[in-house]
Structure 1
């Protein structure tokens, strides 16, 4: 029997469908090969937040010790630790127990002093960091440390004692990703000396250094530095000091460090009847623009008096445009005449102040205000006090070797979406080109198949050959 030609539809189906399937498979495989590195997300990172609290004061009746002039032996143990102050924001959620610091086992060097109550941190630390995905930001650095301080705030009992022993709270946080050896050092202003802080020793001048803590990643703890304030230290106000920490690790190169200042705040005095003085805190916002100091002088006596206020500012803080009635005595001292203040009356002053970026980074700082009343008849009355100067720039400044966020932070800079990180832009372009090429091949194959079918349908169908009958 003679063979019969296959219908056109069957031939098109036989040759067109395999070609279309192979083309689609090729495009899908090319896209899958390039997509995995494009769709990977980067993990986020957070850091602990610390706050400061004011230490308690402890008036003492003994005479102040002389400021150290020699360097004591290197301390081998750190100061005892206590619970850190409460945080202003909720701590990061953690599934592991809170990190603790290693307590010293050997006795402290240098002078003996009552040991502060010790405890271990109980607040949870940050979760362990995850390794970054391909094409994401660099991994957090292993070393990082942060220090925050309180203030040396004196009570009115200071005026009744030849010297006062008080404490300065220092809070340390390991912001790195590994266990660190952390050292503490601090510098006290004139009129203040160390009152026997366990684990710390004199380092020459008015500087002191302490032994090393071993702190796990995320550990946060506080210690108390005992200081003695001389009975005549108020004559030197304003007074400020500084605290510094340095972190190192055996499995990491280099060191990380951080520092912060603290203010010595005196109450109004020495107490004199017939006069009262108040001064508010000065705060610089994150922009660093000028702020104001508010001062109030009251005449609590029985006769009218002329009032005068003198403001003494620390280095880097100035009053460049004093208001009417005020004059600049020197770059850090401004004198203002307030006019006559009646008996029982009170008058106020607002003094614009500015600070250099360096001074704002060194905050908290201290300034001083001297109030004076000159009655027509009688003795001149004068008191002085200190006030606190804070700056948002001190908290906003980056900490050395602190982990950098690698995930989405909610709002990105305007050019962040266009930034090519780790070659991810090249991968996207490659995927787009492959998909476009595959789509063109598919369209071409469909066009060829359709054209072939149309041509077959329009051609006349050949009659099957007839078999001659015998």
Structure 2
């Protein structure tokens, strides 16, 4: 019987090649889509982290519940503020250079133990809503001239400069504390509030970014110099619609006396002490001059405010009390002088309250005759006081597990480095798969064109 052998033609081979080509293309497109989604998801998360939280509405009462006494209904008169000065910038530490660890080839051996499941941290507490109120205060000093020694009392002015650093109009109130020996000389819009030199003033209506000054009239008693060093403080409070609570700022001021009371034959001088942003002081330079005609034994005493000390007194100096250091200078010849430099340190709180005042007391004791003594104040400043963060709306922060848009994650290359490398690797693999699928399709078409057409063939009869 004749046997018929039917060979598959080109169309049958094409039907088998088409499913293979479709499978390869589907796998390639799937692999390409995976890195795209992987890289897009973190970007969306970072953008969402920068959206500020909604602010609650409503007005906040402007009265301070903790203050007692009458509240003045009139605000002090304002004047043009002094030119702004840029506070010293904090030194920036050089970025640490870290070398990326060498990449090791992955091992094919399977681990012997399964990794423990990841432990999810507890959900963080929600961030407090941002406050639209903000305020900043700066003060000058009360600087007295030599005319102070010829008057029973002296009236001086204290300039206070206030800046609305918030984003909304606010009601700003001022309060200040005067040290012993100083009283208010009739500042309009301000009144005494209890004892201990406390005073309060009326409110200003301030627009966002507004900056203005007020002059406080202060009377200095003729014997106030006996209590030096003297200093006070100024506080401001801002209330704004939408703020959960009032915000405030404070700063100290110094009362600077000239050398005196004037005594012939002696002169004393002291330089300003300045703390840099790192809390290191320039030191205190003191000089005592014998302007008389007779040699005398010299002595200097340095009196410092609370929180400021002389950590390592030089030779000839000893601490008498925590705030007082005494230095014996030996014999100071007539027409000559003695110079001294003392190291000074201060606590962070004392630096934050700057400017402060210290005092220097100089004494000359001749072998015969009356002891001569004179004293003066000197100023203590700190860069930390100028760099104190201003009360202002805090910036929104991302919750745990959400990255901020400009905050890279840990690692030498940032948190997106491994994701980016994985995406590139998957794109390369998918490209190779697509190329392989196209090669199969081209080979199939070539075989189809090269194969001779023909029908069924009949095998020879046995």
Q: Which position in structure 1 is the counterpart of 2:199?
A: 208
How far the C-alpha of 1:330 sits from its partner, in A, is: 1.1
Q: Distance in 2 between matches of 1:189 and 1:34?
A: 61
1:37 and 2:44 aligned: yes
How far the C-alpha of 1:425 sits from its partner, in A, is: 5.8
For 1:273-313, what per-residue CA distance to the aligned partner results, in whole angstroms no more than 9, with x for missing partners? 11111000111222223552110111111222211111111
How far the C-alpha of 1:448 sits from its partner, in A, is: 2.2
Q: Distance in 2 between matches of 1:236 and 1:304?
A: 30
1:221 and 2:196 aligned: no
Q: Which position in structure 1 is the counterpart of 2:5?
A: none
Q: Which position in structure 2 is the counterpart of 1:282?
A: 273
Q: How does 1:214-363 map to 2 (within 5 A)?
A: 214-289=205-280, 291-363=282-354
How far the C-alpha of 1:404 sits from its partner, in A, is: 4.6
On the 8 A contact 1:143/1:402 being kept in 2, the answer is: yes
Q: Determine which of 179, 186, 195 is the counterpart of 1:189.
A: 179
Structure 2 CA distance for partners of 1:174 and 1:432, relative to 1, 3 Å: farther
1:177 and 2:167 aligned: yes
Q: Which position in structure 1 is the counterpart of 2:363?
A: 372
Q: Distance in 2 between matches of 1:210 and 1:235?
A: 29
Q: Which position in structure 2 is the counterpart of 1:449?
A: 438
Structure 2 CA distance for partners of 1:371 and 1:289, relative to 1, 3 Å: same
On the 8 A contact 1:260/1:362 being kept in 2, the answer is: yes
Q: Which position in structure 2 is the counterpart of 1:148?
A: 138
On the 8 A contact 1:341/1:347 being kept in 2, the answer is: yes
Q: Distance in 2 between matches of 1:287 and 1:234?
A: 32
Q: Distance in 2 between matches of 1:277 and 1:42?
A: 61
Structure 2 CA distance for partners of 1:235 and 1:271, relative to 1, 3 Å: same
How many residue pairs match? The answer is 383
On the 8 A contact 1:175/1:403 being kept in 2, the answer is: no
Q: Which position in structure 2 is the counterpart of 1:77?
A: 74
Structure 2 CA distance for partners of 1:431 and 1:344, relative to 1, 3 Å: closer
For 1:66-110, what per-residue CA distance to the aligned partner results, in whole angstroms no more than 9, with x for missing partners? xxxxx86320121111111101249xxxxxxxxxxxxxxxxxxxx
Q: Which position in structure 2 is the counterpart of 1:394?
A: 385
Q: Distance in 1 between matches of 2:251 and 2:193?
A: 19
Q: Distance in 2 between matches of 1:335 and 1:78?
A: 46
Q: How does 1:16-165 map to 2 (within 5 A)?
A: 27=32, 31=36, 34=41, 37=44, 73-89=70-86, 141-165=131-155
Per mean C-alpha deviation after superposition, the further-off stretch among 158-167 and 346-355 is: 346-355
How far the C-alpha of 1:41 sits from its partner, in A, is: 11
How far the C-alpha of 1:442 sits from its partner, in A, is: 3.6
Q: Distance in 1 between matches of 2:231 and 2:25?
A: 81
Structure 2 unaligned segments of length 5 or more: list them: 1-8, 51-67, 88-126, 398-405, 456-462
Q: Does the residue aligned with 1:189 lie in a helix, a strand or coil?
A: coil
Per mean C-alpha deviation after superposition, the further-off stretch among 286-295 and 433-442 is: 433-442
Q: Which position in structure 2 is the counterpart of 1:104?
A: none
Q: Distance in 2 between matches of 1:281 and 1:41?
A: 50
Q: Distance in 1 between matches of 2:193 and 2:425?
A: 71
Q: Does the residue aligned with 2:283 lie in a helix, a strand or coil?
A: strand
On the 8 A contact 1:145/1:402 being kept in 2, the answer is: no
Aligned-pair Cα RMSD in Å = 4.0
Scaled by the length of structure 1, what TM-score is found? Answer: 0.71
Scaled by the length of structure 2, what TM-score is found? Answer: 0.72
Relative contact order higher in (CA < 8 Å, ≥ 6 apart): 2
Q: Does the residue aligned with 1:417 lie in a helix, a strand or coil?
A: coil
